[in-house]
Structure 1
């Protein structure tokens, strides 16, 4: 290595930042896959805090910011991010759109894979299931408040359907605590011990847009903006797609 190159590397290291990133489940797998490349290219390291985009748990990103916790970047459901922008917690000019996420279903590994390829098939699967789990984030809110109604089975399934707070739905299905589980596909695929049954049919599907922004009290706003540009770049889209998300054309 030349003295010039060595000096450049030393300069990068000297000015590198440790970025605190709060990310919710749907984009986490893509973020974790892309993070090492960002660190390699910039020298900036990533301190990751996991939490849902909404909800009552103390770990939820809005609740963390409300308590005054510091962050350089928040990655979350788009409309929840918009709420933080409206409340003055996130810089309006920092918002970037990252990916779309669709809802899928899993069963415990080794169990027969149910048919959910049509509205009627999904309806029958839900009616025959002994127990149903869904998340306390965007997908679960939609399932509870809208999907069951659209399928005309809200009253039949409500007594056996449970919202699972904070932890991955696939994890409780893998343990046999619930027969079937729903969450965004990108949150289901990384969990061992389950079989992915497929995505919810498109006409009863809910597409969640993931976005990111920079909190107003971010310690490293310049480096945070570089991370957002990297995550939204065309070069990142192949990795985003592999994790079960649908890329957005930029």
Structure 2
């Protein structure tokens, strides 16, 4: 039996992996595919990478539906994920209450681990925040940029820098051993992103994709979504 193929933002990886055993028990299908920067995943779908389901930002899934690559009526919100700060487990948490605190924390860090600043939701936002705070040039040589947030967090966990920190989506921080969620970005710098699932037009297994969406968004998984880092925002689309 072929697996259900997924293209997903890294923000949803922890939740999908945690529910994979239940999905296989229910349907007999494994889940295969890729998790990474949302822009890169969308481009893979556009270039013909086989996928039954996508889980990307709401705006990007809507765009793919307009491009006739995702079934519009299948679109279902999974939940909201915040962009947040991370430190190595055991390091002091960054005390960031406002933009001035964030600026100070960034300037005090000797290595800043972030996802792709051109294709990932969090990475693009980090780049904008650095410009907003007026520190982009000053910290440019300290940025450690990786293809996605999960990789950035693994590298943060292994870092031997004196005072490293990271910034990516909270779900990727929570799902990585060796790093600790230090807190959300402060007011004026914050970002909360809705993630949405959709069945692709070319899905080989559209009903199994619907089954996975129902599992991901079902009321019974509320606590699991919360533990994974999704904070709110369920909105069931018609089937």
Q: Which TM-score bucket, shorter chain as reference?
A: 0.7 to 0.9
Aligned residue-pair number:
229
Alignment counterpart, residue 156 of structure 2, candidates 167, 173, 177: 173
* Greater C-alpha Rg: 1
Aligned pair in 2 of structure 1 residues 247, 34: CA closer, same or farther (>3 Å)?
A: farther
Taking the aligned partners of 2:218 and 2:188, their CA distance within structure 1 comes to: 30
The aligned runs of 1:172-191 (5 Å cut-off) are 172-176=155-159, 179-191=164-176
Choose which of 198, 206, 209 in structure 2 pairs with 1:224. 209
Report the equivalent of 2:61. Answer: 81
TM-score by length of 2: 0.86
| Cα contact 2:111–2:142 (8 A) shared by 1 | yes
Contact 1:133–1:182 (CA under 8 A) maintained in structure 2: yes
Deviation at 1:215, TM superposition (A): 1.0
Which sections of structure 2, spanning at least 5 residues, go unmatched? Answer: none
Determine the structure 2 residue equivalent to 1:8: none
Aligned residues: CA RMSD? 2.1
TM-score under structure 1 normalisation? Answer: 0.83
2:48 is paired with a residue of what secondary structure? coil
Once the two structures are TM-superposed, the CA of residue 175 in structure 1 deviates from its matched residue by: 1.5
Query: Is the Cα–Cα contact under 8 Å of residues 20 and 31 in structure 2 kept in the other structure?
Result: no
- The within-5 A match list for 1:157-172 is 157-166=139-148, 168-172=151-155
Distance in 2 separating the partners of 1:177 and 1:224: 42
User: Against the structure 1 CA distance between its residues 193 and 230, is the aligned structure 2 distance closer, same or farther, given a 3 Å change threshold?
Assistant: closer
Question: Unmatched 5+ residue regions in structure 1?
Answer: 1-15
Equivalent of 1:44 in 12, 18, 28: 28
